[in-house]
Amino acid sequence: MDARAALGQGADLEGGLDDELDAEAVALCRRLAGVLFPWDITRSLELALLKTFCLPSISGLLSRTGEFGQRPRKRYDDTGLMVAELLRHGPDSPAGAAVISRMNRIHVAYAIANDDFLYVLSTFVAEPIRWLERYGWRPLQPHEQQALFRFWRHVGGRMGITAIPTTLQALLALNARVERELFRPAASNRRVADATLAMLLSDWPEPLRPAVRGLLEAVVEPELAQPLGWPVPPAALRHLVRSGLRLRSRLLNRWQRLRPPQGSRFYSERPTPSYGSSFRLEQLGPPAMLERLNRPRWTGRQRRIGLTGGIASGKSSVGALLAARGLPLLDADAYAREALAPGSAGARAVLARYGEPVLATPGPGDGADVAPPVLDRAALGRIVFADAVERQWLERLVHPMVRERFAAELQRLAAAPAVVLMIPLLFEAELESLCSEVWLVDCDEAQQLQRLVARDGLSDSEARARMAAQWPLARKRPLADRVIDNRGGPDRLAVEVERALRDRRLGRDSSGRAKAP
């Protein structure tokens, strides 16, 4: 349902996630975070959060969202609760999958670079290791470090992060390289860090806050204080605070030998200032997004497969395979073209806005004196793909018409056991609620470009402009329930589609949690 479809650009031509996480790593990470080191790992992840503010690309985005300035406590609690639930339940459990789905749906609203995702992911491994080496009652053992690495690497794969290092050593090296080469001062660093510190200090009585602030700042290394714009505390104070943390760990070690911990103590199992003694996943996220985040999927008896992808990724090929199996195919591209058919309200609005430059020249004997004017879709395409404002205008015109056609067709096909909704801009237009499950047709960017140039006769720059008008596939992958790999030939694609049709495990219920098989 994009501008390309309305302009009649033609049909797509034919032509992941990480492996399953081992149960041992999940169980070990749960024990580390919830039983053995709950306080230390929480503190280490707070330090990890602080370190991400030293990258202006991250702090600048966080500052622009306003969440840290306006609602730092909610932002802090939301992050802590989601991380704790991942560690408590495991990323492949229904509860863990729901958390990852929600994180992905939040993140997709922002233009976050993969390199920034990579660094943040690396801190979730590096900081617990470093903190426990310095202050824990014992450091993490090698097999525990490896489990932590496997856990967060798997989570990163579920989030669609690419180029994640394949070894712990490589991930730690990436972490150190970013901190050495890319940390630098910026006003946004200071704003976000100060807002976070003020939030932490608000839990203390007013007279004690200056002293507590000094103690918290003393935990920060001098090389971290500089990009944050914070003063470097005296060396004697830093030594005193670190000695106190190490003493706490030794005393805790002795106490736990006498009275081993019973049960778990995750952040999500304790009351929080934002939500009290309990919370629901539907409460987590920026308030302005909650309506969208909590919009339920289709839960009726009819199976509704939302089929999406990037331009020239192979959606039409998959749609044809599904139609050959007898499934009704509702095509947003076809409805978008209908919206601009000669004589339609959409065509009249386009002509009123652009006039003669988008009017097709009639050929001899076309009856131009009696037939409604025809749009020159190629000319209109050159306008809207060169100007984001004009493209958005066209999509605001076409999208409501397409939604009306979907509603009418779904009502007509209400008795069908399954239907396919082929919508290129399914995520961009927030139409997941029409579907019980979402399939993404996936391929490499180079394949997209090659197919698009060959199919539509475009130049390289024109093809890239059309690709840039949609979200990249990397941004869509984490949001899909099923990724259909179209990097191979037609036979392989047919096998992928057949497997997806048989497997209904990836559908979601109205809360966003994975349905049981």
* pLDDT digit string (tens) for the chain, length 517 residues: 544 454 444 433 333 444 578 999 999 999 999 999 999 999 999 999 999 999 999 999 999 988 887 889 999 999 999 999 999 999 999 999 999 999 999 998 888 899 999 999 999 999 999 999 999 989 999 999 999 999 999 999 999 898 999 999 999 999 999 999 999 999 999 999 999 999 989 889 999 999 989 888 888 888 899 999 999 888 898 899 889 988 988 898 888 778 877 788 999 999 999 999 999 999 999 999 999 999 999 999 999 999 999 999 999 999 999 999 999 999 999 999 999 999 999 999 999 999 999 998 765 555 555 678 899 988 898 898 888 899 889 999 999 999 999 999 999 999 999 999 999 999 988 899 999 999 999 999 899 999 999 988 888 888 888 888 888 888 898 899 999 999 998 999 999 999 999 886 544 433 333 333 3
| pLDDT score of 16 | 41
| pLDDT score of 6 | 47
Angle, helix 114-135 to helix 56-65, in steps of 10 degrees: 100
Q: How far is CA 462 from the centre of its chain?
A: 28
Closest CA to 147 of 34, 21, 303, 63: 21
Q: Which residue has the tokens 């990836």?
A: 506
Three-state SS for 233?
Answer: coil
Number of H helices, E strands in the chain: 24, 5
Are the C-beta atoms of residues 483 and 414 closer than 8 Å to each other?
A: no
| pLDDT score of 367 | 53
| pLDDT score of 15 | 30
> How far apart, in whole angstroms, are the C-alpha atoms of residue 2 and residue 463?
15
Nearest 5°: CA angle at 35, between 34 and 38?
55
Are the C-beta atoms of residues 370 and 376 closer than 8 Å to each other?
A: no
pTM greater than 0.85: no
| pLDDT score of 221 | 86
Phi–psi pair at 166, nearest 5 degrees: -90, -5
The CATH number corresponding to 3-14+294-502 among 3.40.50.2300, 3.40.50.300, 3.30.530.20, 3.10.25.10 equals: 3.40.50.300
Three-state SS for 375?
Answer: strand
Instruction: Give the contacts of 306 (CB within 8 A, at least 6 positions apart).
Output: 421, 423, 426, 431, 432, 434, 435, 437, 438, 439
Residue 363's Cβ-count burial label (10 Å; 0-12, 13-18, 19+) is exposed
Residue 432 tokens read as 């997941």
| Neighbour-count burial for 311-343, b at 16+ CB within 10 Å, e otherwise | bbbbbbbbbbbbeeeebbbbbbbebbbebbeee
Residue 146 tokens read as 């490896």
Instruction: Give the contacts of 280 (CB within 8 A, at least 6 positions apart).
Output: none
Phi–psi pair at 484, nearest 5 degrees: -95, 110
Positive or negative torsion for Cα 422, 156, 279, 34: positive
Would you list the domain boundaries of the chain? 3-14+294-502, 37-273
| pLDDT score of 382 | 86
Positive or negative torsion for Cα 188, 157, 122, 89: positive
> How far apart, in whole angstroms, are the C-alpha atoms of residue 282 and residue 286?
11
Residue 99 tokens read as 């958390």
